[in-house]
């Protein structure tokens, strides 16, 4: 997905800093351009993030848009995931974007403008079976982004959460997905079925990342940009179901919920 974002931004005439843990692979995927700078960046390293941000400003004088896109998928039932797997998920999908934003925000504050776009997921809208660690990272990402918006708005810095559904990216490849190794008999049958499902989805997702990249160019150019962009018909369906479920839960317990002020009779 990041490759498509970089190529779309270059095609639209923007300067791009493309980052990755393996700069050679990034250069090979994105190509060459006078408006392109490729920089090494492991998002789990704050030092890497600070060096990348400095390199961007040294080359292009400013940073207008940050797209947080790094991701992996630690897949499995919660009890079967190791604490280390959960930490890896949070480190990449939550702490990683925080590291990069922490490095970029001083420059955006100084120029009194900027836009931080973080790629979440439909799994950041609702929790899915077998996705406990992944959803935890995305729910955390969204809470952080929503709170961050209020903090940076006075500096004319905007934030956007993007919730893609199933897009044909490398997220479900063996390189990006790690399945829980712990085997608990009570989960065994469902684990086998879930692994078969997720492996079968790789390369068959309906969403086109090139079209999403073009949509992000539109979002980044909007004034004001949206606080949230639900990407894909499947993600819209997930969001609408979440809204309906929340409303149903509110309505079912409205009387009890509104009786909790001090002095109300709870008997």
Active-site residue list:
134
Instruction: Tell me the CB-side half-sphere exposure of residue 59, using CA atoms within 13 A.
Output: 17
Using the 8-state DSSP alphabet, how is residue 39 labeled?
Answer: E
Give yes or no for a contact between 37 and 55, defined as CB atoms under 8 angstroms apart.
Answer: yes
Give, for 36, the enclosing helix (H) or strand (E): strand 36-40
Q: What does the alpha-carbon distance between residue 201 and residue 263 come to, in Å, rounded to a whole number?
A: 54
Distance between CA 5 and CA 2 in Å, rounded? 5
Q: In whole angstroms, what is the distance from residue 215 CA to residue 232 CA?
A: 11
Question: Which residues neighbour 92 within 8 Å (Cβ) at sequence distance 6 or greater?
Answer: 43, 44, 70, 71, 72, 137
For residues 128 and 204, the answer to whether their CB atoms sit within 8 Å is no
- Asked if 121 contacts 68 with a C-beta cutoff of 8 angstroms, the reply is no
């Amino acid at each position: 997905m990041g490759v498509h974002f970089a190529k779309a931004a270059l095609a639209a005439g923007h300067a791009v800093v493309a980052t990755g843990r393996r700069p050679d692979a990034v250069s090979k995927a994105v190509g060459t351009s006078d408006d392109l700078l490729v920089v090494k960046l492991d998002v789990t390293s704050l030092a890497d993030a600070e060096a990348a941000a400095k390199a961007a400003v040294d080359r292009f004088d400013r940073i207008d848009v940050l797209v947080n896109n790094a991701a992996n998928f630690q897949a499995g039932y919660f009890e079967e995931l190791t604490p280390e797997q959960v930490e890896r998920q949070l480190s990449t999908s939550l702490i990683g974007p925080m590291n990069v934003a922490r490095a970029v925000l001083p420059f955006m504050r100084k120029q009194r403008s900027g836009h931080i776009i973080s790629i979440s997921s439909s799994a950041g809208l609702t929790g899915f079976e077998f996705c406990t660690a992944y959803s935890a990272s995305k729910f955390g990402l969204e809470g952080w982004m929503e709170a961050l918006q209020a903090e940076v708005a006075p500096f004319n810095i905007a934030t956007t959460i993007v919730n893609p559904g199933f897009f044909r990216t490398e997220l479900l490849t063996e390189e990006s997905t790690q399945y829980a190794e712990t085997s608990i008999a009570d989960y065994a049958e469902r684990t086998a079925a879930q692994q078969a499902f997720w492996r079968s989805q790789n390369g068959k997702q309906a969403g086109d990342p090139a079209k999403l990249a073009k949509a992000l160019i539109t979002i980044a150019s909007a004034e004001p940009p949206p606080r949230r962009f639900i990407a894909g018909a499947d993600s819209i369906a997930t969001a609408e179901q979440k809204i309906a479920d929340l409303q149903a839960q509110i309505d079912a317990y409205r009387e009890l919920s509104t009786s909790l002020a001090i002095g109300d009779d709870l008997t």
